[in-house]
Amino acid sequence: MEIKIYIEYNENIFDVSDVCIGEVILQRTINEASVLKFNVAKPFNSIKEFSFFEGDSVWLKYNDKFIFHGYVFSKERDKNQIISVMCYDQLRYLKNKDNYYVYYKKASDVIKKICTDYKIETGIIDDTAFIINKQNFQGKSLIQIILSCLDITKQNNAKNYTVYDDAGKLCVRDVKNLVMPLLLADTTSMIDYNYKTEIDSDTYNKVKLWRKNKKTKIDSITVAENSQAQKKWGVLQYFKRINSDYNSKQAKLLAEEILSQKCRERKKLNIICMGTDNGEIDIRGGSTVYIKINNLAELSVDSMLLTENCIHRFSDNEHILELTFSEVYNGTFKYY
């Protein structure tokens, strides 16, 4: 395993790998900017006429493959002149807020328009097919707009898309296109795991949607609930204001869809495993990998799981992965 870090300064690209000390961390979370963290020691005795600043480009190379391209966003220096560097890829710029009016466009086209407007480089953007009628986004972050459009698409064609940056190219893929031919098992490369169940976050057994009727101008409330779950957990209510364009039937269908997604225990699985150069370096939030764990609490996992978060740690010629998966149902996974 070989790790290389390059920084562009003053239109020149410098290999700073020899002055990096300690652990290099690459975190890839689903639908968020990837984060690269590393430390460099100053003075840079082995690199003449070199310095770097916020906004400078950074590349991470694993063996012969570039796996990250981003920009310096922060630096911290201690008394020993060790500089801690944090970089984000270009999805960080999707935090910008703006107004966008979507009028009979596909989510994929909306994303391309945003990327053009903000000079974001694009890679593979899957055709999302479904045409969104009308949506008016005001003062929303670009990533909120993108995810809202993808969520509307999912509600209508049942396809789940994820947004990520592939070493400098923004991509939008159906998660079914990110299935990896990998097996991570408790009997092989797995070092440790942790399994958690809870109803404390994002679990609801009653959905209430509020909208203003376009014709009568009267407020309308649509409710969907699960009485059995309420007896078990108490009332956990999800409340949301929806667009007045929804009619009664559409509002009811939406409430029932939200209830079906959120009336469940949250189940989270965290895994620590060893990278073996068998393709683990490509795992990111949005990747689907095969997980096999015997005798895990009330279930055994033997299925494909969608990765929510992946942290790659590189140190002492060793590659360790920390993976987070959610929504484990009796050994199977339900896309969210």
Based on the fold, state whether residues 226 and 157 are members of the same structural domain: no
- pTM exceeding 0.95: no
Residue 99 domain boundaries: 93-168
Based on the fold, state whether residues 185 and 137 are members of the same structural domain: no
Contact present, 9 and 52 (Cβ < 8 Å): yes
Strands across the sheet with 206-212, in order? 219-225, 206-212, 237-241
248 burial class (0-12, 13-18, 19+ CB within 10 angstroms)?
exposed
pLDDT score, position 328: 52
Based on the fold, state whether residues 279 and 137 are members of the same structural domain: no
Based on the fold, state whether residues 294 and 226 are members of the same structural domain: no
pLDDT score, position 329: 45
User: CA of 17: how far to CAs of 5, 7, 58, 68, 335, in Å?
Assistant: 5, 10, 12, 15, 39
Contact present, 138 and 99 (Cβ < 8 Å): yes
Q: What is the pLDDT along the chain (336 residues), one digit of tens a residue?
A: 899 999 998 888 999 999 999 999 999 999 999 999 999 988 776 676 778 999 999 999 999 999 999 999 999 999 998 999 999 999 999 999 999 999 999 999 999 999 999 999 999 999 999 999 999 999 999 999 999 999 999 988 888 999 999 999 999 999 999 998 888 887 677 899 988 889 998 999 999 999 987 777 788 899 999 999 999 999 999 999 998 888 889 999 999 999 998 999 888 889 999 998 888 999 999 999 888 888 776 667 788 889 999 999 999 889 999 999 876 544 444 433
pLDDT score, position 14: 92
Based on the fold, state whether residues 83 and 111 are members of the same structural domain: no
Based on the fold, state whether residues 219 and 111 are members of the same structural domain: no
With the C-alpha atoms ordered 126, 127, 133, 139, is the resulting torsion angle positive or negative?
A: positive
pLDDT score, position 327: 64
Based on the fold, state whether residues 256 and 325 are members of the same structural domain: no
Rounded (5°) CA angle 105-175-61: 110
* Alpha carbon distance 253, 232 (integer Å): 24
Domain count, the chain: 4
Strands 206-212 and 237-241: parallel
Based on the fold, state whether residues 285 and 192 are members of the same structural domain: yes
Strands 179-185 and 288-296: parallel
Amino acid at 174: D
Amino acid at 97: K
CATH code of the domain containing 327: 2.40.30.150
CATH code of the domain containing 51: 2.30.300.10
